Every structure is written in structure tokens, then in C-alpha cells.
Structure 1
Amino acid sequence: MWPYYRVFANRVAVGLAYRWSVVTGVITRLLQLAVTLFVWRSIFATTPEIQGYTVDEMSAYLVLTALMSILFSSSHFFRLSDLVRKGTLSAYLVRPYSFLGDSLAVFLGSKVIEVIVIAGALLLLRASGAPVLERASPAVLALLCSNLLLSFLVGSVVGALSFWLVEMWPIKPLYASLMALLGGTTFPLDLLPPAIGHVVQATPFALFGFVNTRALQGALSSREIAAYLAVSVLWNAACAALYQLLWRRGLKRYEAVNG
């Protein structure tokens, strides 16, 4: 465990040294949030309520999803692709520990500052009376942690595709679009027709955005939290298995080219 801790601590130090990247990321999210809030407030100008949401409730939801989008970004998707493209992956392969474990330590280290920023924002929202952390519980914490692990594994699976894909840059706007449509970052997914909404809410994108937000708002029952946690665990298992398959086959391809 010591090597992973060293990698984790080093990544935290890097994050503290280059805080401007976090600041610019937050500013970008705030600008996107401002546009989304403007659109929804324009809609609410003609109606006081939309399927149970008032303008204040919708605003609180959108602010929370904006915070979640900071934590569940796609920035870690491209670490492996950069190593493959530069031909420097071999330096990691000779180390006496797992590359996946190394990547997880880097991922968690990169999230420390983001977690601090989000926690501070949540406390401010709570103090202002916004519906946040209404039902904070170990089950909610377990759901958030499981979804964060799923975000890492999804990124690992996408990164493993770099053994075959030359251009990885389209993945970033694609991920942003899927989060907007399926993650609930532009509208709550329970506004969708039930037949569509139930399917969409079982996707990883919904877990990253809509489900985390509703959990923090205390809008999910204990039964719903348990169901979403089960879905998250299943997705984690599926992504871990798929990553191992892609890693083994991709590594053979990499070694054949660079051997």
C-alpha cells in the first residue's frame, strides 16, 4: 500500500501547486450553470411549477449537479492514452505494483481539492437554507463513494481504448453531451416519461449526476438508495471486468509495437 500512498500524496501536492487549473474548471462550470439557470428561469416565468419543481427547487438542483460535474469530470480518461501515445507506458509496467492501482491513487489524489471545494459549497448552501444534505447517512456516503469508483473505472475502460484508437479527443465532448442528456446536468431526469426515465436512471451518467444530486438533496428513500447502490456496484463489476479484458489485449498490442 505504501507505493500507492506515495503516488496519492504526490498527486495531492501537484494539485496544491497548480490550483489555477481547479479555479478555471470551477469558473467554466459556473458560466455553464449561469446559462442553464437563465434558460430555466425564463421557462418558469410563464409557469409557477413544472412537475413538482418550483423555480427555487430547480435552481438548487442545477447548482448541485454543477458541483457534481466538477467531481465527476472526464479529466482522468486520457492519462493512459497520453502514456501510450508518448510511448512512456513501459516505465510504469516495470514497477512492482499494479498500473490500475497507480491510476486509482492518482485519481483520488486529484480529487482532494475538488472534494474540499464542493464540501465548502455544500455547507454554504446548507447554511443558506437550500435543500442539501437533508438525509445525510452512511448509505448516501456509500452511494457517492461507489459512484466515484465507477467514474474511475469508466475512465479506465475509455482510456484502455487508446491501444486501438489514434484520436481520443472526441471522447471529451461526447462525455459532456451524454452527461447533459443522460446525466441530468441540464434538467432533472424525473421530468422524462417514466418508461424512458427508469432506463436512463440506470446508466452510469445518471448515477454521476442526477442520482448523486437527489441523494444529497434527501429526495431518495432508503429503498431507492439501496437500489441505486446495487446498480452502481453491478456497473463497477462490469467495468472492472471489461477493463481487465481490454488491458490484457491492449498490452499485447502495445508490446508487439514497442517491443
Structure 2
Amino acid sequence: MKKIKKYMPVLYLGMKDNIIFRSNIILTIILQIANLAVSLWVWNLLLPHSDFINMARYLILTNTTALIFTTTPLYYLAGLISSGRLSMYITKPISLFWYIFLYSFGKQVYILILYLGLLVILSNNFLIVIFLLFYFIVANFMFFNLMLLLGELSFWIINMWPLRNGINAIYLLLGGLYFPLNMLDKRIYSWLQYNPFSLVTDVPARLMINGVDTNAVKYFLAIILWLVSFNFLRKYIFKIGIKKYEGIGA
């Protein structure tokens, strides 16, 4: 109980930062809406009306989910390492993992409430809603471990920001934010559907639209495997990186 109380201010700090720097949140949402609007306009020209409705539902869901599963933790950790401020956290009696996780989660709370409302509106099946909520909890830890793993590259790369466009491009393509991944060749899709970006955007969108099927268990197992792998690699890379970390800052 004491440990929980210790980290509650961190969660509150993340929520408070969203209010203080609300212009950043508004700008992020506007850019996401603009990106979504362009995609919808293109697909409206290419597809008949009935198919476009399903495509619109899919793109709305994936782009909204992308606001929850953000790359913010990656650049937050990278900033701590490159600036030398990481020393402030590793010398204190707190967990760096839980500090960044709860801070990031606090920044996601408002978008998460919006998404839950959208989830209830678009899904009439209560069991699907419960399954997706549990799915999102595990997926959130998996994706967070991936972001920290990428952020730890800052131990060797002085500035991670030039990689931002490349990482975002991979997210957009592999996450299905431009088009459903099942439109690809079946042989490619059979493997690509289990990539970590697809599991947090493409898969939840399809489960909401089509309902929970037998593949849902496979997706859940894939998330657990990725979670275990990323967690192990994150800890291993951190041990190697911290040995060369000087804490001087860029």
C-alpha cells in the first residue's frame, strides 16, 4: 500500500502536465484528425459506399487507439539519458520503470476515457468490451516495454529525434493506420498480423468490428510472448548501457 501511495503523485503529475500543456494535446489530436481525414477522403474515392463505411469505422478505431499507445515513453527515457538527468532517478529509491509508466499513463487518462466511451458506443457486445479492456492492459505493458527498449538506444545514439519519422512511419504502416493489414497478400499478412504495432491498433479494431473469434486467443498469446521478450531485452540492454553511461548530458 505504501508503494502505491509513493507513485500516486507521479500519476497525478502526468494528468496535470496534460492540463498545463493542453495545447500540445490539442495539436496532437488535430494532427491525428487531419491524418485520418486525408485517409478517409482517399478511401471514399476508391471504395463503394458500403465498403467505405466499414473502412471508416476501422480507421477511426485504429487512429484513436494510436493516441493511447504513443511513442512518448521512448523519447522521455531517451531525453533522460542524453541530458544526464537519468542519474537523478537511478540514485533514488524508486523504480524508473514504474515512474515512467505511471507518468505516461497519467498523460493518457483523458484519451483513454474518450476511447472507452467510443468502445461502448461502437460495440453492442458486453463480453467484447470486457475482453478488450483486459487485452488493452496486457498490450499496454507490452508496448511500453518496447518503447523503453527503443529509448535505451540513446545510450549509444546521442540524439534519437532524427529517428522519429522512421519510427512513426513503421507505426503507421505496421499498425494499420493507413489501411487494414488484411488487405495485403495472405502470406505476408499471416505473419505481419502478429507484429507488436498491429497488436495494439489493427487487431483491436478488427475485434470490435467483427467480434471476438478463435484468433483472439492467438493474438493474446502473441502479446504475452512479445511482452516477455521485450521485458527481458529491456533489462539486458539497460545493464549494458548503464555501464557506459556517464551522466554528463548532451
Q: Shared fold (TM-score greater than 0.5)?
A: yes
Change (3 A) 1:256 1:24: closer
- 1:172-223 CA-partner distances (Å, limit 9, x unpaired): 21222112221111111111121110110110011121012112324331x2
The alignment status of 1:33 with 2:41, answered yes or no, reads no
Question: Unaligned stretches of 5+ in structure 2?
Answer: none
Residue in structure 1 matched with residue 109 of structure 2 by the alignment = 112
Among 212, 216, 220, the alignment partner of 1:220 is 212
What is the distance in 1 between the residues matched to 2:93 and 2:40? 49
Following superposition, which runs of at least 4 residues in structure 1 exceed 6 angstroms of deviation?
none
Structure holding more helix per residue:
2
The number of aligned residues is: 245
Q: Amino acid of the residue matched to residue 108 of structure 1?
A: F
* TM-score relative to the length of structure 1: 0.88
Between stretches 1-10 and 35-44, larger displacement belongs to 1-10
Task: Determine the structure 2 residue equivalent to 1:183.
Answer: 175
> Which runs of 5 or more residues in structure 1 are unaligned?
none
Q: Does the CA-based 8 Å contact 2:44-2:52 persist in structure 1?
A: yes
Using the TM superposition, name which of 28-37 and 73-82 deviates more.
Answer: 73-82
Question: In structure 2, which of residues 230, 241, 245 is the aligned counterpart of residue 239 of structure 1?
Answer: 230
Q: CA separation in 2, counterparts of 1:256 and 1:67?
A: 37
Structure with greater contact order relative to length (CA < 8 Å, sep ≥ 6) = 2
Distance 1:249 1:188 in 2: 38
Change (3 A) 1:133 1:79: farther
22 and 227 in structure 1: CA distance in 2 versus 1, 3 angstrom threshold: same
The share of aligned pairs that are identical, in percent, is 25
User: Matches of 1:26 and 1:137 in 2, distance apart?
Assistant: 24
Establish whether residue 149 from structure 1 lines up as the match of residue 146 from structure 2.
no
Give me the whole-angstrom Cα distance separating, in 2, the residues matched to 1:256 and 1:139: 43
Q: SS state of the match for residue 143, structure 1?
A: helix
- Equivalents in 1 of 2:39, 2:129: separation in Å? 30
Matching residue of 1:12: 15
Please say if residues 143 and 228 of structure 1, whose CA atoms lie closer than 8 Å, have aligned partners that are also in contact. no
Q: Report the Cα offset of residue 121 of structure 1.
A: 4.1
